[in-house]
Structure 1
């Protein structure tokens, strides 16, 4: 009996130390499951945001930017949010858990800006970047569980992932190899990459899926422009929104832009 009690005690201690998701730890963070056979009329866009330690400045800017962009996207577009590399508040992470740190914050929904901005505010910066694992979760769970219906004949794909990151996979994964394998079987989604910094390693994700690769070298203006482009809102939407919020100008219509079709490399 004493031996069994020791085993149970050790198991609970391991859960706390190594971030094993027991029922008690589930209550500490917002866990959202991808519903099965969900139907969307329009388009599905999933924002996949890197929460590794070096992303703090950019995540703050993303929150400020999305406040003005999301209300301007078409009403037929449903947006979801997933984060990767997050610290969920537990101490004593095991390496294996850090490299599986990703969660769906909010599932696809029309006019979902409140949940997305709130989710970005509540998520905590972590350390590792489990990029391949997060892409697997996004593609094999989130996107696979949703069926999209629309009457668009332009050739645009029904599903899009917008990946925002400043680095490569730090968990030994190979996201490029994974996407090449996936695209042999599936052609229903594209990946737009907002790459912060000088790396072009993840260009393969956009090239393989027919998406756009936005290389942002560090300026706020280029970051904002990349977000306006990938979400398909008029150039100047964010600047105009800030001016209207602060009361410095009267509302004006920003310059519209033509949605991108096929792979593009955009070096701002």
Structure 2
């Protein structure tokens, strides 16, 4: 069993084992079927690992366990609404889920936030206990906010949990989806290497269940909440508007360090803890503060923690009149740390002092350094200064666009270096490839199989430029029973009598894209039959079919 299979099994077994002895809950497994699942790990596509691992995990689930299956990105390219509940939650669905996973196509985007919300609604999470297991190899690409969704589902659900399996994500990427699990008291499991998997299993399935708490002694009269804290940016200030502050309460171990964790919550937090000495910590963004407090059962403590910080409200815009762009990354370097997991409109708190803000959008970048004081609120737009480019290719000028994932794009600087080459600015794949670029002159280069083409273009800030490249090419499809390999040469020989090889392939069938022109196909056979030479012509915008006998 692969590491990912054991990770999925651990996640589903966790949901099963934690339900024993409590009200039964139902589960929907949400699988990422986006195009990125074609990437390989150790020479094997992620989608194949996912299918085999899911099949292995489902074999260990009892037949009466109610499990459903949802996928996204499996029917349409570029669609943020391509989400489908393929197998509704019911007992005995293991076979149906396996079949559904085996038949998935992996080609779309990653609307993971909307998918989890739809799964929760399908489980009637506001009425019954419900669990969603999200398996994703990428981050949200449709503007959703998984962290905010986790809070929403936790607040509205009867007993809702989201467990997240990050398949091949880096540790930094994992933080951007782990909050969905954290905010619903679920588990985030990093499925990247064996060591991470062992830690996940030890933390979840192998973790012993806590012993039942003893019956409490009769209590004297007490207040409902004996701790109602708040945090401020400076002494005498009010809690910052629109900013999340998270409080954690620990026992005071009398050694100057945190003791046992007791409780936590976001402002306005209301807690009740046994009488005693505690350490209360407040965190918001990169700022934090802590205070020792003493609680009693009959009185509400209202401590105020000073974060000594400033609040940032940032809106990254491609151009002065453009809307904020959710794909823009905001990197905040503040005293004592860096936050890079910010995209689109961002709210963040930083300790007072020098803070550098860097906004990255495509190949564009803008930065600004601020000297911030405690209590300061910065509410501003940050203009990156880019235009947008959409690239497509057609076989002939004015023809329909080539809708293929084989298209490979490179954006190059227009000016050549002394050696005649150009520096690469960025790259992309497929039809309707989109790029954010600073103003200037560029060259768009495209490759599809054996064809390459280039076209110069210019970018203006705040404008959309559509680059359409005519490949002047066609497609040739070759079939040769008993063939071992194919080699395609230009028909014209050079001064030495040699032909330039254009491309090659193996097996009995071969299809490729070629520039319009004359060629010679050399077919090698698995038997002692000599190689066969077949001349042929490719016309732009047409398909040529050859049969070699």
Q: How does 1:1-268 map to 2 (within 5 A)?
A: 42-56=24-38, 57-87=45-75, 95=78, 98-140=79-121, 142-144=122-124, 158-196=129-167, 197-198=169-170, 199=173, 200-217=175-192, 257=206
Q: Distance in 2 between matches of 1:122 and 1:59?
A: 11
Whether the aligned pair in 2 keeps the contact of 1:69 and 1:228 (CA below 8 Å) is: no
Shift in CA distance, 118/68, structure 1 to aligned 2, threshold 3 Å:
same
Q: Distance in 2 between matches of 1:105 and 1:78?
A: 14
Q: Distance in 1 between matches of 2:24 and 2:102?
A: 27
1:146 CA drift (Å): 9.8
1:43 CA drift (Å): 3.1
Q: Distance in 1 between matches of 2:198 and 2:86?
A: 23
Q: Distance in 2 between matches of 1:83 and 1:58?
A: 15
Q: Structure 1: which 5+ runs fail to align?
A: 1-40, 149-157, 233-256, 262-268
1:178 CA drift (Å): 2.1
Whether the aligned pair in 2 keeps the contact of 1:42 and 1:77 (CA below 8 Å) is: no
What is the number of residues matched between the two proteins?
A: 178
TM-score normalised by length of structure 1: 0.58
Structure with the bigger RCO (C-alpha within 8 Å, sep 6+) is: 1
Q: Structure 2: which 5+ runs fail to align?
A: 1-22, 39-44, 211-549
Whether the aligned pair in 1 keeps the contact of 2:37 and 2:137 (CA below 8 Å) is: yes
**Secondary structure, aligned partner of 1:202:** helix
Q: Distance in 1 between matches of 2:199 and 2:94?
A: 19
User: What root-mean-square deviation, in Å, do the aligned CA atoms of Structure 1 and Structure 2 show?
Assistant: 3.1
Q: Distance in 1 between matches of 2:83 and 2:132?
A: 15
Task: Report the structure, 1 or 2, having the larger helix content.
Answer: 1
Task: Report the structure, 1 or 2, having the larger strand content.
Answer: 2
Whether the aligned pair in 1 keeps the contact of 2:73 and 2:106 (CA below 8 Å) is: yes
Shift in CA distance, 81/146, structure 1 to aligned 2, threshold 3 Å:
farther
Q: Distance in 2 between matches of 1:146 and 1:184?
A: 9
1:112 CA drift (Å): 1.4
Q: Distance in 2 between matches of 1:122 and 1:228?
A: 33
**Secondary structure, aligned partner of 1:171:** coil
Q: Distance in 2 between matches of 1:118 and 1:224?
A: 29
1:145 CA drift (Å): 7.7
Q: Distance in 1 between matches of 2:92 and 2:127?
A: 18
TM-score normalised by length of structure 2: 0.29
Mark the structure with the bigger radius of gyration: 2
**Secondary structure, aligned partner of 2:110:** coil
Whether the aligned pair in 2 keeps the contact of 1:70 and 1:111 (CA below 8 Å) is: no
1:159 CA drift (Å): 2.2
Whether the aligned pair in 1 keeps the contact of 2:166 and 2:190 (CA below 8 Å) is: yes
Whether the aligned pair in 2 keeps the contact of 1:45 and 1:80 (CA below 8 Å) is: yes
The aligned counterpart of 1:28 is none
Shift in CA distance, 120/183, structure 1 to aligned 2, threshold 3 Å:
same
1:86 CA drift (Å): 1.5
1:76 CA drift (Å): 4.1
**Secondary structure, aligned partner of 2:59:** helix
**Secondary structure, aligned partner of 1:184:** helix
Shift in CA distance, 222/76, structure 1 to aligned 2, threshold 3 Å:
farther
Shift in CA distance, 107/225, structure 1 to aligned 2, threshold 3 Å:
farther
